[in-house]
Amino acid sequence: MGFIDQNIVPAEDGGLLDAYSSTVASAVDLVGPTVSRIERIGGRGGHGSGFAISPDGLIVTNNHVVEDARSVRITTPDGFVTEGRVLGRDPDTDVALIRANTSVGAWATLGDSKRLKRGHIAIAIGNPLGFEWTVTAGIISALGRSMRAANGRLIDDVIQTDAALNPGNSGGPLVSSSGEVVGVNTAVIQGAQGIAFAVASNTAQYVVSELLRFGKVRRALIGIAADTIELHRRVALQAGVTQITSVRLRRVEPGSPAEKGGLQEGDLVLAINGSPVAGVDDVLRLMDGDRIGQETAFLIFSVQGAIETKYVTPTARPL
C-alpha cells in the first residue's frame, strides 16, 4: 500500500463555486449577445428564441417557432429591431434558418456535439415566458435520445438536459462551458421538472448546410430508429475502427431497405461506406440525398456477435 507524503488541502467551497460561476458567466458573455427574440409576422402570432451563426445575419431557431411564417421580427439584446425572412425549415429535426435583413452584430460558433459527455455543464439562453435573455444552467443528463417532432417523425440524436427551459426558450442555444453552441433548445416535458431537450449541434450544422445549398434537407430513407452508445474496445479492435461510440439499431421497420439489406434490431453500425459512425448524427449526415438508390455498405457488429458487411439501398424519404 502506498502512502501520501504531504497534506492535501481541499479547495474551499467558495473557490469552487466562484470558478463555476466564472465559467458560466464567460460562456454567457460569449454567446448571449448572439441570441435574439424571434416573432412571427403575419398569420398566427408567437415568439421564441434564435441565435446568429454568421456575421451576415444567419440565425438558427426551431421550425415550430417560425411555423409557416415567411417573415419574422428579430430583436437583439441591445434593443435593435429588424426583420428577416425564413430561408428554410426542416420539420424532421425542428430546425429552421432565418436571414436577417441586416447584420445583428455578434455570432456564435456551433461546436462538436459528439464531444459531449453526461455531466458536462449545459447553459441555456433564451426568452422564456416573455422574460428576455434569461440564463439557466445545469448539466447534460443524457445523449442520443429520440423524441417525436410535431410532424410525428422521430428526431434522433437529441440531448437531454436539466437546464430549466420554458415556452419561449425554443430555438435558443444550449451552450457548453467553453462558449460553443452544442444544441438548439427545442422541447420540455410538461409536468416534469429537470427534463428538457435540445437538437444536437452536429445535426443542426448538417440541416443548415442543406438548407443553404438546396433550400430543403434531402434524405435517404433506410427505415431505422437508433441511439448512440459506448463501443466496447474489444469490438472496435476486432472491426479495425477507432471510435469509442457507435450506433445501436433500436427498431428496423418491416419491409424497409434496412430489413431487406439484412439489418436487425440490436445490430451496431460501425461504418457506412467506409466512413466511421460514432453517433446518430453521422448516420443522418451520411444518409443524404446522394445515397438515394445507391447500394451502400454498412459495417456492423451483429446481434449474433459477428463483424459483417451488409448492403442497403436507401429510398427517397417522402417530404
Active site residues: 64, 94, 170
Going 260 to 264 to 265 to 270, the CA torsion angle's sign is negative
Pairing of the two strands 121-126 and 173-175: antiparallel
For residues 198 and 159, the answer to whether their CB atoms sit within 8 Å is yes
Spatial CB neighbours of 123, under 8 Å, sequence gap ≥ 6: 24, 27, 28, 31, 135, 136, 137, 163, 174, 175, 176, 177
